[in-house]
């Protein structure tokens, strides 16, 4: 599994440094990272002595320790990678989840700042939207061109720190589970598996190029800062950290998508004819005839896309109470569920509605809906409290209600409820809880309220209204609503 070739690694030469001293010092990362490759077609021999003094014998021992012994054939991984089909990998696109809260904006800003810094020190420039990588004969395309060596510099550094978030989050959740003596609801396993997957990415690319001393020092410093920063951030706001990783994986998908496009356009000729390392073939279970570098990039991009989905989903959940849908065992196995594979990808992550409905039985759904519903009504906003259900915090409730409504009454059930919703609005304006105004969400809102009352039941709903504060106002609201609870249309 961990066999290595005997081809003598050849150190890559450095690219020309920028003219300015400031840019030159930062650009040194890409220039003298001392990446050594086992595939001679990529390398250009350098007459200068590199920064790394690692010999071939010690490099083998240090990077890939011997696994096979008299008693042991190889070390088996605890996490078996799911099998991807080519159709699944080809269907992956670059997507972006819009920031909706201040924590989302903070996470997105941090990712954008880190991306800019990494692009600057590695000499990376992403082409503008609409740029055709196949048209490489013009001057404009030259400034966006990246060689195989430059891509390896970037990939090795990024993958060396990409496994940090999953390990930090898994470690902290593990310690909290021990400290509070409570189960973690399946989060730890997924987070540690993500860290393991990112480490396998690094080991795979190290079979193509080994980092020199300068690169390893850069990784050491970056890992120290990154680990401690995420450690403190996860203690403060786990949701923000998962959103941060989700946005970071969006950038990773974008980067690997560009690499795939460059290979297909013929701009990376050495990689076009190179086979994937044996460690990659074993880990991803790559079939015969699909073991090229292009196939490897498709597999890695699929992994990053899955991390994107998982972290955006975890960022939508209640960090202390909600179960992890990716490790849950479902009662109804006939429906599509969130999974570890690439068969059901949702780039922006699953809303709470979809995950809670997947992981809970009917009674649990009712309780969760009821608790979240009345928690959105502050005592100081009773008259306009109904509008608060449009808040982003109850986005999951809309998905639950919409799914249930369509299952019971067919597609576009809310659109068909428009006349009823308008009649209800007029009726409610005659109660003491009014006035209510027609708006862009009115039709959907009232149909959802009716469905919600039916889901939780009359007794639960009455108790729910009492807990929100002004019982008389909500009783009037229920009385108005009860006129329509027996309608089948």
Q: Which of 87-101, 450-464, 472-486 has the lowest mean pLDDT?
A: 472-486
pLDDT of residue 173: 95
CA 420-422-425 angle, 5° bins:
110
**Residue partners of 483: CB distance under 8 A and separation at least 6:** 427
Model confidence pLDDT, tens digit, residues 221-233:
888 899 999 999 9
pLDDT of residue 305: 93
CATH classification (class only), 80-353: mainly alpha
Closest CA to 9 of 39, 30, 32: 39
Supply φ then ψ for residue 3, to 5 degrees. Answer: -70, 145
Report the C-alpha gap between 472 and 465 in whole angstroms.
Answer: 9
β-partners of residue 210 are: 36
pLDDT of residue 8: 38
Please state the domain extents for the chain: 80-353, 360-482
pLDDT of residue 120: 77
Report the C-alpha gap between 97 and 82 in whole angstroms.
Answer: 25
The tally of CA atoms less than 13 A away on the side-chain side of residue 207 is 21
Contact 218, 117 (CB under 8 A): no
Report the C-alpha gap between 161 and 137 in whole angstroms.
Answer: 35
Per-residue 3-state assignment (H helix, E strand, C coil) for 298-318: HHHHHHHHHHHHHHHHHHHCC
Contact 372, 399 (CB under 8 A): no
Strand-pair category, 209-210 with 10-11:
unpaired
Which region, left, alpha or beta, applies to residue 181 given φ > 0 means left and ψ of -120 to 50 means alpha? left
Rounded-to-10 torsion of CA 350, 356, 357, 359 = 110
Report the C-alpha gap between 200 and 202 in whole angstroms.
Answer: 5
0.85 exceeded by pTM: no
Closest CA to 317 of 350, 341, 365, 339: 350
Report the C-alpha gap between 85 and 125 in whole angstroms.
Answer: 31
pLDDT of residue 205: 92
Closest CA to 249 of 96, 118, 116: 96
pLDDT of residue 227: 93
The tally of CA atoms less than 13 A away on the side-chain side of residue 267 is 21
Segment holding 236, helix H or strand E: helix 213-236
Q: How far is CA 296 from CA 42, 66, 86, in A?
A: 17, 24, 11
pLDDT of residue 449: 56
Closest CA to 351 of 391, 315, 327, 390: 315
Q: How far is CA 346 from CA 44, 299, 328, 336, 407, in A?
A: 42, 17, 17, 12, 21
Model confidence pLDDT, tens digit, residues 25-70:
444 444 444 455 555 444 444 444 333 334 454 454 455 556 666 6
Closest CA to 347 of 86, 91, 105, 87: 91
Compute the Cα dihedral for 153, 154, 159, 161 and give only its sign: positive
Mean pLDDT of 420-427: 52
Closest CA to 233 of 97, 110, 392: 110
Place 110 in a pLDDT band, splitting at 50, 70 and 90.
very high
Mean pLDDT of 363-383: 40
Closest CA to 383 of 283, 289, 473: 473
Burial of 182 per CB tally in 10 Å (0-12, 13-18, 19+): exposed
Structure tokens at 473: 């106002």
Q: Which of 22-36, 251-265, 422-436 has the lowest mean pLDDT?
A: 22-36
């Amino acid at each position: 599994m961990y066999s290595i070739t005997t081809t003598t690694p050849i150190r890559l030469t450095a690219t020309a440094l920028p003219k300015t001293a400031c840019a030159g010092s930062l650009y040194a990362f890409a220039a003298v990272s001392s990446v050594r490759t086992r595939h001679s077609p990529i390398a250009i021999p350098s007459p200068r002595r590199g920064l790394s003094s690692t010999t071939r014998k010690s490099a083998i021992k240090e990077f890939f320790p011997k696994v096979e012994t008299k008693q042991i054939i190889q070390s088996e991984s605890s996490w078996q990678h799911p099998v991807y089909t080519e159709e699944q990998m080809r269907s992956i696109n670059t997507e972006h989840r819009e920031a909706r809260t201040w924590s989302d904006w903070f996470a997105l800003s941090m990712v954008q700042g880190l991306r800019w810094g990494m692009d600057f020190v590695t000499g990376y420039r992403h082409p503008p939207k609409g740029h055709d990588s196949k048209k490489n004969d013009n001057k404009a395309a030259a400034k966006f061109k990246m060689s195989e060596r430059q891509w390896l510099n970037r990939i090795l550094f990024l993958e060396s720190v990409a496994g940090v978030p999953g390990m930090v989050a898994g470690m902290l959740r593990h310690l909290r589970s021990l400290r509070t003596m409570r189960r973690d609801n399946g989060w730890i396993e997924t987070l540690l598996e993500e860290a393991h997957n990112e480490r396998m990415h690094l080991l795979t690319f190290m079979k193509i190029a080994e980092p020199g001393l300068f690169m390893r020092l850069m990784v050491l410093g970056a890992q120290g800062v990154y680990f401690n920063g995420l450690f403190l951030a996860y203690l403060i706001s786990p949701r923000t950290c998962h959103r941060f990783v989700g946005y970071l994986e969006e950038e990773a998908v974008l980067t690997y998508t560009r690499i795939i496009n460059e290979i297909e356009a013929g701009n990376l000729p050495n990689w076009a004819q190179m086979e994937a390392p044996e460690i990659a073939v074993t880990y991803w279970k790559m079939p015969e005839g699909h073991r090229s570098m292009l196939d490897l990039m498709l597999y890695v991009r699929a992994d990053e896309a899955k991390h994107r989905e998982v972290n955006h989903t975890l960022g939508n959940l209640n960090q202390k109470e909600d179960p992890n849908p990716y490790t849950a065992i479902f009662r109804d196995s006939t429906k599509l569920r969130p999974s570890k594979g690439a068969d059901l990808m949702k780039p922006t992550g699953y809303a709470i509605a979809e995950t809670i409905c997947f992981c809970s039985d009917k009674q649990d759904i009712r309780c969760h809906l009821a608790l979240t519903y009345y928690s959105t009504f502050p005592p100081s906003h009773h008259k306009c409290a109904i509008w608060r259900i449009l808040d982003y915090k109850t986005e999951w409730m809309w998905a639950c209600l919409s799914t249930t409504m369509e299952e019971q009454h067919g597609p576009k059930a809310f659109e068909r409820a428009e006349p009823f919703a308008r009649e209800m609005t007029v009726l409610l304006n005659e109660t003491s809880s009014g006035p209510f105004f027609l708006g862009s969400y009115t039709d959907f809102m009232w149909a959802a309220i009716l469905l919600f009352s039916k889901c939780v039941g009359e007794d639960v709903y009455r108790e729910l209204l009492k807990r929100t504060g002004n019982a008389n106002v909500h009783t009037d609201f229920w009385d108005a609503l009860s006129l329509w609870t027996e309608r089948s249309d």
